Chain A
Amino acid sequence: MNVVDNKWIGQRTIRPDGVDKVTGRAAFAADTTMPGMIWGKVLRSPHPHARIKSINTAKAEALPGVKAVVTSRDVVDFSIEKGAVMLGIQDMRWMCRNVMARDKALFPGHPVAAVAATTEAIAAEACKLIEVDYEVLPWAIEIDDALRDNAPILHEWHKVDGKPSNVMSRLEVKKGDIAQGFKDAEIVIERSFTTRPVHQGYIEPHACLISVAADGNTTIWSSSQGQFMVRAMTSMLTGIPQSDIRAIPAEIGGGFGGKTIVYLEPLATLLARKSGRPVKMVMTREEVMRATGPTSGSKSTVKIGAKKDGTIVAAHGAFYLQAGAFPGSPIRGAVGCSFAPYDIPHVLSEGFDVCSNRSKVAAYRAPGAPIGAYAVECVLDELAERLKMDPLELRLKNAAKQGTKAAHGPVFPRIGYIETLEAAKSHPHYAAPLGKLQGRGVASGFWFNAGGESSAQVNITEDGNVVVTTGHPDIGGSRAGIANICAELLGIDYNRISVIIGDTQTVGFSNLTGGSRVLFASAMVVTQAADKVIATLRERAAKIWEIDPEAVKWENGAAHPVSPNAGEFKPLTLADLAEKAPSQGGPIGASVQLNTQGAEGGFGTHICDVEVDAELGIVRVIRYTAVQDVGRAVHPSYVEGQLQGGVAQGIGWALNEEYIYNRDGKVDNPGFLDYRMPVCSDLPMLDTVLVEVPNPKHPQGIKGVGEVPLVPVMAAVANAVHNALGRRFYSLPMSPPKVSAELDTPAELAAE
């Protein structure tokens, strides 16, 4: 049932944590201290691939001021032979080796030891005194290097067809029979694409402050996309039971998927336990760039077959994604999402998880989906051009709708993809004139979205206001959305509601802030908790009035008799009932814990205009419109913000961002100067159109919105560049050197 006539849902309220964040009061991960606190530092491998023959920490331990040194011997080992131990999508066998290298260092930046000392400078000095005997091994960074015969093998135990291999797994989804499909096709286009690894680029480096008492009671203060994930992983890697670990979620300075695993917390916990002192660890930007994230680089081949009228009859995608040092690249997103916007009878979509000597990839906004969409949506653009069809018309003709069976399994319920295409087509942007060396591109995208475990408490304060506690770190305004919903349900002013994010020992289990799930899932548990509170309030009023609870309704923040027949009573407000609570049955509140279901996928369609500076090879985005089916915009400003932020990240991925490696196999641009994320002067205003097709499986119609906006962007930009120049780029980023080189190549040579 959808709330239609709303007072608070859909309002652009001031976020509950807003004032703290504009005044500098908000406490992020690196902003706290504890009495007696010391500093931890990590010693990292300088080599891309090396066997660790021995580690001698004696000199470091002898340095005055050093309080503890830990190595992989101190981290709980999850042996490879015993098989997978999964926590969500993470295998703890890889996590234990990622936080601290065991027998081999697998990328430059891989931790090999950690030190805690009275100052940061002493800890850094001590790291230099640790003697590590490495046997340097041949290494492979790029996918092709990892795939070739006789490639250096990262994990010798893993074999494909009896031979050691860096291809850790293959995933496919299929529908129909592509051989038949391509036989039916009158036009077939097949193209190959590459993308580079890009970092999530959160401005806040990873940081934590951890204290372990003599009895093992542990307090973790850190920023992450899930305090429960931090608790569970730290528990598993240190052996401290979860009941003894209180993980407090600091404000998080950006995550975008990159803070869904731990790096520092287990090490700081071990150092704190060994030293008996609280330990603070803060990564440098260089450490963030070398040892955390990024998302995969990729190579993809996409083949699409269609009839001359534009009906797509067959599609094949093969997506090779870099996993980094350990298995686990986001092939599921590339394989499942790429063709999902289209109703295609014959589909085969395959993904290959390829290890190489770079940092283990972490989730990044719709993991894998933007990589697949880049390839598919560029091929569709080429198909439209070949068919002399408008690219939006081509998409409309083949659009998935209610009843379409997606290749990855589900039959779509009512979805809003067609609405996004129609809105894009009728948007003034799509008809606006273009100048010289300007071009326009469109592209669409899909993301699964997610439900899962969430918990909430709704408590009425003694003075008749409301405190809502949930368990998901607020990464982009979710507290404001929750407050809007709660104000709506309870019929009271938004400002009477305070929303806080509980720590692991004060609120029930809540899974990660990820998968665009937070407001979807939080709204479900908060709605059920608010319903319980309202039931209690009606009972209390019924008791006071000595009538049946069924004869009491809750409206505009007060209990009223349902009709004059029920009796004539002055309404009892929340404040009245809170005041009377002690004598009428005690405190008023409710908590709800659910494994939420019914998250439906999201679709977006983007229009991008670019202008190319042919002299310098610089591509500038000059106009951008992102259209998305958002289900229900509970707080439109923050929904728009999600779209705008995703678009900005995609423009960076398309035009500039990439990891550049030097000949020693090390990242050569581990800082914001050379890893060039979009700055304010790089971008135009980013327009958004919010299409609202409510999710029928959600009390407020909510769908996840945070990840879809990144999915279409690189293709939209690439298609616009093609429209401007008449030339296609099959590899990202379309950075000035690459664009200049392309423009310097005569057209006849460039056309294969």
Chain B
Amino acid sequence: MAKLHVSTSVNGEPMEFLCEPYETMLDALRGQLGLTGSKEGCSSGDCGACSITLDGRLVCSCLMLAAEAEGHEIRTIEGMAKGGQLHPLQQKFLEHAALQCGICTSGMLVASEALLAKNSNPTEEEVRFWLAGNLCRCTGYDKIVRAVMETAAEMREARP
């Protein structure tokens, strides 16, 4: 069985890798590409710990075949901070203690960033439904929702 050659862009960098036809994008990220920030909690798209964006759209990387990355733009948690500068969501998660064990945090942040890209002024209900695909067993979500809403408010203010 021949491996497939895939050319893609990950966090703005051109990347190439070889993969088996059955391998998922999550396998490729964590394996061939060494980007272990995306986590595998279920491999069935139910926990969201592997959330990435594909051409800006939020997806579970465990439900995407690695070969499907060909010619597309992938963003992962590793690309969220810019040159050592944390994204406002990352900073706010820290200030609000919106993480305990941290295993869901990468996916939560990627999903939250995707939300704010679409909706700069989400209601609590909108945040809760958007993040309903990201399981967290530690926090009860309270501090996560607060962190996202406060980030949204600050990012709105920071905009001219």
A-to-B contact residues, CB < 8 Å: 12, 14-15, 17-28, 30-31, 200-205, 251-256, 282, 284-285, 475-477, 635, 637-638, 640-641, 644-649, 671-673, 677-683, 685-686
B133 A679 Cβ-Cβ under 8 A: yes
Also in contact, A201 and B137, with CB within 8 A (given A18-B94, A251-B102, A672-B47): yes
Q: Which residues of B contact A202 (CB under 8 A)?
A: 101, 103, 137
11 contacts across the A-B interface (CB closer than 8 A): A22-B105, A254-B101, A254-B103, A255-B101, A648-B137, A648-B141, A679-B134, A680-B136, A681-B125, A681-B131, A685-B142
| Stretch of B35-43, B65-73, B151-159 with 4 or more beta carbons under 8 angstroms from chain A | B35-43
Question: Do the beta carbons of B99 and A649 come within 8 Å of each other?
Answer: no
B35 contact from A24, A251, A284, A671, Cβ within 8 A? A24
Contact B140 A672 (CB under 8 A): no
Question: When A202-B137, A673-B44 are in contact, do A28 and B132 touch as well, CB less than 8 Å?
Answer: no
Interface-centre pick from B86, B109, B127, B143 (highest chain A CB count, 10 A)? B143
Q: Is the interface of B mostly helix, strand, loop or mixed?
A: loop
Residue interface bits B110-140, CB-to-A below 8 A is 1, else 0: 0000000000000011011101111111111
How many angstroms between the C-alpha atoms of A19 and B109 in the bound complex? 13
Task: Give, as a whole number of angstroms, the nearest-CB distance from B148 to chain A.
Answer: 10
Chain A residues positioned under 8 Å from B102 (CB to CB)? 17, 20-21, 26, 28, 251, 253
Q: Is the CB of A673 within 8 A of B78?
A: no
CB contact between A24 and one of B37, B125, B133 (< 8 Å): that residue: B37
A698 to B128, CA, bound (A): 40
Query: Which residue, of B103, B125, B133, has the highest number of chain A Cβ atoms within 10 A?
Result: B103
B128 touches A649 (CB 8 A): no
Q: Are A680 and B42 in contact (CB under 8 A)?
A: no
A residues less than 8 Å from B131 (CB atoms):
679-681
CA distance A28 to B105 in the complex (A): 12
Contact of A647 with B140 at beta-carbon distance under 8 Å, contacts A22-B109, A23-B81, A680-B132 already known: yes
- Contact assessment for B142 and A644 in the assembled complex, using a CB-CB cutoff below 8 Å: yes
B46/A673 in contact, CB under 8 A? yes
Residues of B within 8 A of A683 (CB): 128, 140-142
Q: Tell me whether B100 and A638 are in contact (CB under 8 A).
A: yes
Whole-angstrom distance between the Cβ of A686 and the nearest chain B Cβ: 5
> Does B145 contact A685, Cβ atoms closer than 8 Å?
yes
User: Given known contacts A23-B86, A285-B42, is B100 in contact with A641 (CB within 8 Å)?
Assistant: yes
Q: What are the residues of chain A within 8 A of B105 when measuring CB–CB?
A: 21-22
Neighbour of A679 across the interface among B76, B86, B100, B135, CB < 8 A: B135
| Distance of A398 Cα from B53 Cα, bound (Å) | 56
Taking CB atoms, residues of chain B closer than 8 Å to A648 are 137, 139-141
- Please name all residues of chain B whose beta carbon is closer than 8 Å to the beta carbon of A205 when the two chains form the complex: 40-41
CB-based contact A25/B37 at 8 Å? yes
> Is B90 an interface residue when CB atoms closer than 8 A count as contact?
yes
A203 near B103: Cβ-Cβ < 8 Å: yes
Contact A641-B40, Cβ < 8 Å, known A22-B94, A672-B47: no
A18, B92: Cα distance in complex, Å: 11
Cross-chain contact A644 with B40 (CB below 8 angstroms): no
What's the nearest-Cβ distance from chain B to residue A28, in Å? 6
CA distance A673 to B39 in the complex (A): 17
Contact call A649/B137, Cβ cutoff below 8 A: yes
Give the chain B neighbours of A638 by CB distance below 8 A.
97, 100
**Complex CA distance for A220 and B122, rounded to whole angstroms:** 45
B106 CB within 8 Å of chain A: yes
Bound together, the chains give a CA A641 to CA B136 distance in angstroms of 12
A-B pairs, 8 with minimum CB distance: A24-B37, A253-B103, A648-B140, A21-B102, A637-B97, A644-B140, A672-B46, A24-B77
A28 CA / B38 CA spacing, docked (Å): 11
B99 touches A22 (CB 8 A): yes
CA of A284 to CA of B124, assembled, Å: 33
Q: Write out the residue numbers on chain B whose beta carbons fall within 8 Å of the beta carbon of A201.
A: 137
